[in-house]
Chain A
Amino acid sequence: MDTFFQLLLSGIAQGCVYGLVAIGFVLIYKATEMVNFAQGDIMMLGAFITITLINHLNWNYFLAVVTVIGAMGLFGLTLERVLLRRMIGESPFAVLMATIGLGFVLRSVAGMIWGHDSQSILTPYTNIPPLRFGEVVFPVADVVVVGATVVLCGLTFLFFRYTRFGVAMQATSQNQLAASYVGISVKRVVGVSWALAAAFAAIAGILLLPLKSAYPHVGLVLGIKAFAAAIVGGFGSLPGAMIGGLAIGLVEIFTKYWIDDIVQFSVSETSVYILLLLMLIVRPSGIFTSMQRKKV
């Protein structure tokens, strides 16, 4: 039973990271109907910049975190302006491939700058002893991830519910033409969506660092899993993305500890993909949204 709770927590923590990256996918998809396959790589970039600031320039942790989030937001904005705005009107497939190309670029640039070794950082909470409840041990890093995610989700909810711009973004995601008629600058909304998505990815990267170390390819596989999370959640819904992330995180960790030992075969590595495939076959539209057939 003790292991169960421990696995549960680390599954949730990992799931939060997936969920945060998945939120980025959904934000961009809702605003532009584009799928950004480089989302995981943007996360990796955020992680590496944090490492540089803290390990090499000896910045304060919190200052570094704020700077990285801001810088990555700006990076997302630039990316949209320079690359993705040119792709408006191209087929979704072309956009997908362009972001895959972008992923290649980001990974190799990261490899050139930071090398291919795994790196990590010391956080203010690295040396805090784990929380104990009876026999159950909760690592602080996991707790911080979950806590930060909960706060972020709350802030996001408030942003979309109560701020003018949040409402404008929701309106734009439903109908760009109508939104522009009522005076919303669709270009700005799209730009901000990219900025937000990149910022979310950066936060995910920062939170991931104490859990796992960073290397240039870390974003590739994590990005795919986050993508799976977004699909499980329905690809059009922010809460859905978060729930999908948790589902993926939990499935991954439980198959690893329960099934792998029994069948002596690494099922956990494939479990996420099997879940994704089943999800796509059984309910191709995900849990929270529905797709409609083209009208004739």
Chain B
Amino acid sequence: MFEVVRLSKHFGGVTAVNEVSFSVNEGEIFSIMGPNGAGKTTVLNLVSRFYDVDEGTIQFAGEDITHAPPHEIARRGIARTFQNIELFERETVLQNLLIAQYIHRKTNIFSDLLFLPRVRRQEAQSRRFLEDIIDLLQLQRYREQQIHSLPFGVRKLVELARALCLKPKLLLLDEPSSGLNPEETEDLSFWIEDINKELGVTILMVEHDMNLIGQVSNRVLVLASGQPIALGTPVEVKDHPDVISAYLGT
């Protein structure tokens, strides 16, 4: 359902991503791992179109999205989280989640200005939908709190919830476990599985925590210096000689 073909990205003279190809099947949890500077996050940024693709193509649900503008990506059904959390700091959790309903709105600026009955109904409907996500991730008690007053782990969850509120078909997670302690990471792995099974969301995850990857992923792609070096199940990849040498040096 999602396919990347010979994707490349150069920054000046540095080739951050070099001819990376992979495809993600519907319902799968696909991980990209690799040492620091391997170009994992760059791949994600290319997919969500924050960077322009230099070479190669990105296909999603049978359509070419290589040159779609960044705001189109969410509409096509791809949501993402960020490595360093990009939430709307001064707003409450609820407001953050409501913003994700923007792409599903059926009203325009004129009906908004007058707050016509259909805007009112839509607002109620959005909130009803959010409650499902809030229940799933157990965010009830943070609903009315402002983001900057929340601990880091909760913020990560809120960001995950916000991505889910877009009702995505494909969810991109950028280092979901970074900054979390082992227990939180453990919880996270359950939630990722829940999201995958209960909501039927396909997941593409960039991660360096081998345990988390081993627990949840179906397949793993290993990158080193922008080059793909191995692809397979977590167990296969773990013992791959190239992977070991990439991590430990030769």
Contacts and interface: CB of A to CB of B under 8 A. Distances in A.
Contacts of A296: 41, 45, 50, 82-84, 86
A296 B45 CA distance: 8
Contacts of B45: 296
A296 B86 CA distance: 8
Interface string A262-296: 00000000000000000000000000000000001
Interface string B5-38: 0000000000000000000000000000000000
Contacts of B86: 296
Main secondary structure of the interface of A (DSSP, over half): loop
Contacts of B41: 296
A296 B175 CA distance: 12
Nearest to B48: A296
Nearest to A296: B82
A296 B84 CA distance: 7
Interface string B74-114: 00000000111010000000000000000000000000000
A296 B50 CA distance: 9
A290 to B, nearest CB: 12
A160 B50 CA distance: 38
A245 to B, nearest CB: 31
Nearest to B50: A296
A165 B82 CA distance: 41
A296 B80 CA distance: 12
B48 to A, nearest CB: 9
Contacts of B83: 296
Contacts of B82: 296
Nearest to B80: A296
A246 B56 CA distance: 46
A87 B99 CA distance: 32
A296 B172 CA distance: 14
Interface of B: 41, 45, 50, 82-84, 86
Interface of A: 296
7 contacts: A296-B41, A296-B45, A296-B50, A296-B82, A296-B83, A296-B84, A296-B86
Q: Which 7 A-B pairs have the closest CB atoms?
A: A296-B82, A296-B50, A296-B45, A296-B86, A296-B83, A296-B84, A296-B41
